């Protein structure tokens, strides 16, 4: 009886415990009862939060009791000397000395336009003709008078050579002939100005005056003539670079509109400092082979003003500054496996390029610097290297 009673009590306890045990996640999901699923999730969330808080407390306790947990974690890198090219970044415009508007040298009616837009012409080629206003007829008359003056001069010269006649007659004949020659040449020179010619080889970019228009020297624009052979980029450079930017310096030219970048050279630097903006002019040659580059196109320039063949470069982000304004970084010394000692090292810096800066003194080649974690360590502090 006592044994049966014990079995019954045991069964009751098991049933009771079975009823108190929560259902598993699989059982709750299998029930497809949304209420039970939400209740189960809420219970698990509560347990998760409680465990998270307990883990946090345990971690803090470990840090307080274990000295190794207080060591800051860092990463390092080794500096190596390298070639450092510094560039001055500027903006300029493409220009050419062979981009002009042609004006007439003679006053009159534009009789003929001999070229059209886009036409290539050679130096000296006729572009237009202006009515000469009767100068051709005057030349014909003067040439007749010149022939007569020449005949008279020739006869007087023969007579004078034979000591016949007076010297004054000979000189008058000679003077009259020379004056007639000069008059003819002068008018021919004026007639020559009625033909408008190309001053250099290039392309007629625009015809600015119509045939039949009355034109005047220095007032009437006839054509725009452009040559793409002698193009260059012109820019204004601050005077502080006057000693470093000289002819022959390397330049990286880029044309944002065209999406092109090319290498070039400084061909000329100005000898005059503009007092208004304290700059001087610099000309950079544009390669002739690229015909897509046009005058007045905007260009960006990166001019090499400084080169150090053995420069030590470091990220600017790892540099700190003390109260006296001195810059410093942290190096690692006394390395033992994955631990080391952080050492504060004063440095002097030079030029920057992007996120890198040149170190002029304070660091030697192959020095090992702290990178990540550099701002959380102290001088002579033990650190743990994660590299």
Judge contact between 242 and 265, C-beta under 8 A.
no
Decide which of 163 and 361 is more confident. 361
Whether 182 has a pLDDT exceeding 70, the answer reads: yes
Q: Give the model's pLDDT for residue 36.
A: 84
Q: Return the bridge partners of 203, or none.
A: 120, 226
Q: Phi first, then psi: what are they for 350, rounded to 5°?
A: -120, -125
| Closest by Cα among 71, 79, 67 to 339 | 71
Decide which of 297 and 71 is more confident. 297
End-to-end CA distance of the chain: 74
pTM, 2 dp: 0.56
Q: Give the model's pLDDT for residue 13.
A: 41
Identify which of 8-17, 70-79, 313-322 has the greatest average pLDDT: 313-322
Q: Give the model's pLDDT for residue 279.
A: 94
pLDDT average, residue stretch 91-112: 90
> Which tens digits make up the pLDDT trace of 193-236?
888 999 999 889 899 988 888 999 988 999 999 888 888 999 99
CA distances from 313 to 34, 305, 328, 363 (A): 63, 17, 14, 10
Q: Give the model's pLDDT for residue 20.
A: 45
Decide which of 134 and 262 is more confident. 262
% of the chain surpassing 90 pLDDT:
32
> Which tens digits make up the pLDDT trace of 113-157?
999 998 999 999 999 999 888 887 888 888 888 888 888 888 888
Q: Give the model's pLDDT for residue 359.
A: 93
Whether 161 has a pLDDT exceeding 60, the answer reads: yes
Q: Give the model's pLDDT for residue 387.
A: 66
DSSP 251: E
Q: Give the model's pLDDT for residue 5.
A: 38
Whether 15 has a pLDDT exceeding 80, the answer reads: no
> Which tens digits make up the pLDDT trace of 237-249?
999 999 989 999 9
Residue the block writes with tokens 């005047």: 216
Judge contact between 85 and 244, C-beta under 8 A.
no
Parallel/antiparallel/unpaired status of strands 73-74 and 382-385 = parallel
Whether 294 has a pLDDT exceeding 70, the answer reads: yes
- The chain-wide mean pLDDT, for the chain, equals 85
Of 18-22, 156-160, 237-241, 370-374, the range with the lowest mean pLDDT is 18-22
């Amino acid at each position: 009886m006592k044994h049966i009673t014990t079995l019954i009590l045991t069964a009751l306890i098991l049933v009771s415990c079975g009823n108190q045990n929560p259902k598993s996640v699989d059982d709750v999901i299998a029930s497809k009862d949304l209420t039970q699923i939400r209740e189960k999730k809420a219970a698990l969330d509560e347990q998760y939060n409680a465990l998270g808080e307990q883990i946090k407390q345990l971690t803090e306790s470990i840090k307080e009791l274990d000295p190794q947990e207080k060591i800051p974690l860092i990463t390092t890198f080794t500096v190596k000397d390298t070639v450092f090219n510094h560039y001055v970044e500027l903006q300029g415009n493409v220009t050419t000395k062979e981009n002009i508007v042609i004006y007439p040298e003679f006053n009159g009616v534009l009789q003929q336009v001999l070229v059209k837009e886009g036409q290539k012409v050679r130096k000296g080629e006729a572009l237009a003709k202006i009515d000469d206003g009767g100068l051709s007829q005057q030349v014909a008359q003067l040439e007749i008078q010149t022939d007569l003056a020449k005949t008279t001069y020739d006869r007087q010269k023969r007579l004078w050579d034979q000591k016949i006649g007076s010297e004054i007659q000979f000189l008058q004949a000679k003077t009259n002939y020379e004056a007639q020659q000069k008059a003819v040449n002068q008018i021919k020179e004026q007639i020559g100005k009625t033909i408008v010619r190309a001053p250099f080889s290039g392309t007629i970019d625009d015809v600015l005056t119509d045939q039949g228009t009355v034109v005047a020297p220095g007032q009437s624009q006839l054509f725009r003539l452009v040559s793409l052979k002698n193009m260059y980029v012109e820019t204004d450079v601050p005077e502080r670079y006057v000693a470093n930017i000289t002819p022959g310096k390397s330049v990286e030219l880029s044309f944002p509109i065209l999406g092109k970048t090319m290498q070039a050279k400084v061909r000329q630097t100005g000898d005059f400092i503009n007092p208004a903006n304290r700059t001087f002019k610099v000309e950079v040659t544009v390669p002739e082979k690229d015909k897509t580059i046009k005058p007045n196109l905007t260009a960006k320039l990166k001019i090499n003003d400084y080169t150090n063949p053995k420069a030590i470069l470091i990220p600017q982000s790892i540099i700190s500054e003390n109260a006296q304004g001195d810059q410093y970084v942290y190096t690692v010394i006394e390395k033992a496996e994955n631990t080391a000692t952080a050492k504060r090292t004063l440095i002097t810096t030079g030029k920057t390029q992007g996120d890198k800066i040149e170190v002029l003194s304070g660091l030697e080649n192959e020095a090992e610097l702290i990178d990540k974690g550099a701002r959380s360590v102290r001088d002579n502090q033990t650190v743990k290297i994660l590299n």
